[in-house]
């Protein structure tokens, strides 16, 4: 993109802004930018509600704890706008949107944690960040994805425990056996739900104390 912009400036300097060559090059650059936005992949196939519901209705049997610390999605505070998050995190590698008691948008990012692939999803309700999700996957560099591969089972388990430990230490939680799954609530009502579905470890951060989020949850999950 940078090289294309430089080329466009050179064409304008040599042939002029009204030349056919400049207009053709400018149009080509605009199409290229649009195509890039259109080809950004969708974060996942299922509905957004399938990801929100486990944060609203955590699996039974999870250990519960209270923290006096304000819950953040890593270092990101709730209520930031989508543009503010993208300014901090960069352009997402995937997106998704939907209408459920408001406009929902998802911005997804990829990375590695302890040698294991990790996905981070930022959820925006009416352009405000209200829900964050971390998915720690069993795919890892150098290991087969077959469930019988003890190599990746080992590296995934270590990553799972380290991710759990980082949250427990940050929010000063002291409950035995917490690595099997837990939920944490802060004074403002925001929550963290940490659990595994056998394939992935999920950590979900919800601004449950927000009046706008409460209204959406009451509409989407009546009776909960």
Q: How far apart are CA 117 and CA 111, in angstroms?
A: 6
pLDDT at 141 over 70: no
Burial grade of 201 (CB within 10 A; 0-12, 13-18, 19 or more)? buried
Q: How many CA atoms, within 13 angstroms, populate the side-chain half-sphere of residue 163?
A: 31
Task: At 135, list the tokens.
Answer: 């998915």
Q: How far apart are CA 133 and CA 162, in angstroms?
A: 17
Hey, how many other C-beta atoms are within 10 angstroms of the C-beta on 41?
11
More confident residue, 175 or 187: 187
Return phi, psi of residue 175, to 5°.
Answer: -130, 125
What pTM does this model have?
A: 0.77
Return phi, psi of residue 57, to 5°.
Answer: -120, 80
∠ CA 191-123-197, nearest 5°, is 60
Q: What is the pLDDT of residue 143?
A: 47
33-60 per-position pLDDT tens digit:
434 444 468 999 899 999 999 999 988 8
76-97 per-position pLDDT tens digit:
999 999 999 999 999 999 999 8
Average pLDDT, the chain: 81
Return phi, psi of residue 8, to 5°.
Answer: -65, -40
Q: How far apart are CA 148 and CA 196, in angstroms?
A: 18
Q: What is the pLDDT of residue 221?
A: 86
Q: Are 190 and 184 in contact, with CB atoms under 8 Å apart?
A: no
Return phi, psi of residue 110, to 5°.
Answer: -120, 155
* Residue 170, C-beta contacts closer than 8 angstroms, at least 6 positions apart: 69
pLDDT at 103 over 70: yes
Band (pLDDT 50/70/90 cuts) for residue 212 is confident
* Residue 16, C-beta contacts closer than 8 angstroms, at least 6 positions apart: 22
**What are the C-alpha distances in Å from 133 to residues 23, 25, 52, 74, 222?**
44, 41, 9, 10, 23
């Amino acid at each position: 993109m940078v090289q294309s912009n430089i080329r466009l400036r050179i064409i304008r300097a040599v042939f002029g802004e009204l030349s056919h060559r400049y207009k053709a090059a400018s149009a080509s650059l605009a199409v290229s930018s649009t195509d890039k936005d259109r080809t950004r992949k969708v974060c996942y196939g299922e509905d957004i509600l399938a990801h929100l519901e486990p944060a609203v209705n955590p699996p039974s049997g999870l250990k519960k704890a209270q923290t006096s610390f304000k819950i953040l999605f890593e270092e990101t505070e709730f209520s930031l706008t989508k543009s503010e998050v993208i300014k901090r995190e960069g352009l997402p590698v995937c997106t998704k949107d939907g209408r459920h008691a408001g406009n929902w948008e998802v911005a997804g990012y990829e990375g590695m944690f302890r040698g294991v692939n990790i996905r981070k999803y930022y959820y925006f309700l009416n352009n405000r960040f209200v829900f964050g999700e971390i998915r720690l996957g069993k795919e890892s560099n150098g290991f087969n994805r077959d469930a019988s591969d003890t190599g990746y089972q080992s590296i995934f388990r270590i990553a799972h425990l380290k991710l759990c430990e980082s949250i427990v230490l940050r929010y000063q939680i002291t409950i035995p056996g917490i690595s099997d799954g837990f939920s944490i609530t802060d004074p403002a009502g925001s929550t963290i739900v940490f659990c595994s579905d056998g394939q992935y470890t999920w950590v979900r951060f919800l601004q449950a104390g927000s009046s706008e989020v409460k209204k959406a949850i009451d509409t989407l999950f009546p009776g909960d």
